[in-house]
Each structure stands twice: as C-alpha cells, then as structure tokens.
Amino acid sequence: GENVEQHPSTLSVQEGDSAVIKCTYSDSASNYFPWYKQELGKGPQLIIDIRSNVGEKKDQRIAVTLNKTAKHFSLHITETQPEDSAVYFCAASTSNTGKLIFGQGTTLQVKP
Amino acid sequence: EAGVTQSPTHLIKTRGQQATLRCSPISGHTSVYWYQQALGLGLQFLLWYDEGEERNRGNFPPRFSGRQFPNYSSELNVNALELEDSALYLCASSLLGGGTDTQYFGPGTRLTVL
C-alpha cells in the first residue's frame, strides 16, 4: 500500500550547521511532495513543495531534491537557526486523490 | 488574508458520545480536507470534500463522517466515540481540488475522549 518512510526521527544540530531529512515513498504514481513544519500547539505549516517534473527547488535557506527513479526526496536546511527547531513532516500525493500520505516526522533541535 | 480556522480549540467528551468539529477554509478555497493526528500514529487522511461532495475517504470506520456547506465550510462528526479517537483533528483547504494542490492547515481541534 501507500507508504512514506522518513528519517531520522530526531536530529540535533548546532546553530549554523546544515540539516538533512530524507523520505522514501512507495507509490510510483506520486507526483507531489510537500514539506511541513509543525511547532508545538500549532497546525502544520507548508515550507516548500516540489512536483514530479522538477528535480530540485530552493527557497532561501531551504531546498528540496527529488529522485523519482529511486522514489526518494530530501529536505535541506542550511545555516540553521534556533527558530528552525520544530517537527518536520514530508508527504507524498497523487493527482485526484486529495490525500497526503505523511512520513512519521522528524524532530529537529537546533542548539544555540 | 485569514487562514484556515477551526472550532472549538479543545473538546472533551465521554466514550459513546458524539463530537462535532468545524472548519472554515481560506476565502476562495473550495476543497476541505480532514486529518487525524494521534499520538504515535502521525498524520492520517480522513476525508476530502470538494464543491459539497465527499471525494475521497481514508481508512476510517463509517462513524467518522462529515459534510461541506454551500459556503465551503465543513464539519466533521465522530459518532460513538472511543478512547482511541483522542487526537488532534486538523482541517486543511486548497484552492482547487485534488492531490497536487497545496493544502493549508488550520490549528486543529484537540479532542479528548474520557
């Protein structure tokens, strides 16, 4: 069935370092891959997304790469700051389903 | 521009009761999605409504149901509540329907079943 695996489950970095979170999906028909950041007591907030016709997308300190052949995609955060500390979720979706399949989440801690 | 709003913020019910959760999408958005975020189970897709119709449903029993009103707001009903229904229920909306349209989430309703 549809599944998204996310690693690592926890990640601790020093302020200024880079952080990388990786996800693998099972449904080869998946064509949309968003990343969400969830802070305590809040709903998930979209930080970046990528569609299957693109291999890489960047927005300031955040970048996402997609490898459709290997069915995996990754989130890269450079120059991390304490306010980047949160739980990050990857997700995958297929056209006309309305359904986002989420990974299990990664708790990122950025130490000042 | 106002984001997705949900009410109530918290809801406490006892086992066997019914819960009703409400969601108002971003202005101009016609699709509404419901997700359950239970401890240890992550975010699970519940329902998708578009133009007043249920378009897709996740792997949840029929006691989870909902509807979408003509103004595109939505409500989620959970009947015969069970302890394991305790979770954060998140609503999202998108401008267009479907799996590849960006979904924007609300803050959620925390449902506690005692």
Instruction: For residue range B31-88, list pLDDT tens digits in order.
Output: 999 999 998 788 999 999 999 999 999 999 999 999 999 999 999 999 999 999 999 9
Contact call for residues A74 and A88 (beta carbons, < 8 A):
no
Q: What are residue B94's DSSP bridge partners?
A: B31
Q: Which residues of A touch B105 (CB under 8 A)?
A: 36, 43-46
- Residue A26's nearest CA partner among A87, A97, A93 is A93
Statement: residue B102 has pLDDT above 70:
yes
Which SS3 state, helix, strand or coil, does residue A111 take?
A: strand
Nearest CA in chain B to A105: B42
When pLDDT is cut at 50, 70 and 90, the band that residue B105 belongs to is: very high
B87 touches chain A (CB under 8 A): no
Q: Which residue of A has its CA nearest to B40?
A: A104
**Shortest CB distance from A42 goes to which of B55, B104, B107?**
B107
Name residues whose C-beta falls within 8 Å of residue A16's C-beta, 6 or more positions apart in sequence.
A79, A80
Asked if the model's pLDDT at residue B96 lies above 90, the reply is no
pLDDT at A31: 92
What backbone phi and psi angles, to 5 degrees, belong to A55? -95, -25
Residues of chain A with pLDDT under 70: 1
Closest in A41, A96, A102 to B99, CB measured: A96
User: What is d(CA A2, CA A65) in angstroms, rounded to the nearest whole number?
Assistant: 21
| Residues of A with Cβ-Cβ distance to B97 under 8 angstroms | 98
Write out chain A residues lying below 8 Å of B58, CB-based: 99
- Residues of A whose CB is below 8 A from B90: 43-44
pLDDT at B70: 96
Measure B79 CA to nearest chain A CA, in Å.
23
Q: Indicate yes or no: CB of A36 within 8 angstroms of CB of B100.
A: no
- For residue B30, give the amino acid letter: T
